Amino acid sequence: MSLDRILLGLLREPASGYDLKALFESGIDFFWPAELSQIYRTLRRLESEGLLRSTQQPSARGPSRRVYSLTAAGRRELQEWLRREPVFDDERYSYVAQLFFMAELDDLEHTLAFLEQLREKRAAQVDGFRRVEEEVFRSTDESLDEASDEELHRHLTLRAGLLTSSARLQWCDEAIALLRRRIRQGKPHPA
């Protein structure tokens, strides 16, 4: 459902499936990843539903491109979606599930190592967000006041990712500290 709307949103400028995949990789997929094959199937469905139309176009290089653009109905659908109340999706976290049951291993050193791995990945993610924030936006409040409404909205979505990631990094640190303390105090772990 949301992939549909995201594609409509991106298609304010006409684009091919391949182009759209590139757009996902440059700043969409931190809140909505999508595979090319999925994009192609969805585009065809949206066309059959009358929300998109497409034309074959020769490519500067490579085979010919199928370029999609919004129909009036597509534009209406997009607006309708944007006016709807915030849509919450289910969230699933396998690594939290692993941690939930990890006492089962009776090996606090393993839990500690697990958390340290988590921490490293989160730190890299936070760095990534920060670099984007510094590059794409100048990120100070003054320059934000001069940004367009579009830039403002994009900035907000990026901040959502950054703040969430940062909180998770902090959680790792808190958890690691707790584990270290327990290991220091507690009985030595098996083997």
Partner DNA sequence: TGTCACATGTAAGACGTTACATGATTTT
Partner DNA sequence: AAAATCATGTAACGTCTTACATGTGACA
Structure tokens at 21: 């995949």
Q: In what order do the strands lie in the sheet with 65-70?
A: 15-16, 65-70, 52-57
Q: Which is nearer to a second copy, 12 or 45 (CB)?
A: 12
User: Which stretches does DSSP call E strand in the chain?
Assistant: 15-16, 52-57, 65-70
Contacts of 15 (CB under 8 A, 6+ apart): 23, 67, 68
State which residue, 65 or 68, has the beta carbon closest to a second copy: 68
How far is it, in rounded angstroms, from Cα 8 to Cα 68? 10
- In the complex, least distance from residue 99 CB atom to a second copy, rounded to whole angstroms: 6
CB of 160 to a second copy, least distance (A): 5
Site residues for a second copy, window 38-77 (CB under 8 A)? none
Give the C-alpha separation, 122 to 115, whole Å. 10
Per CB under 8 A, 20 contacts a second copy = no
Which of a second copy, DNA, none is residue 40 near (CB under 5 to 8 Å by kind)?
A: DNA
CB of 1 vs DNA, minimal distance in Å? 4
Residues that bind DNA (CB under 7 A): 1-4, 16-19, 33-38, 40-42, 44, 59-67, 90, 92
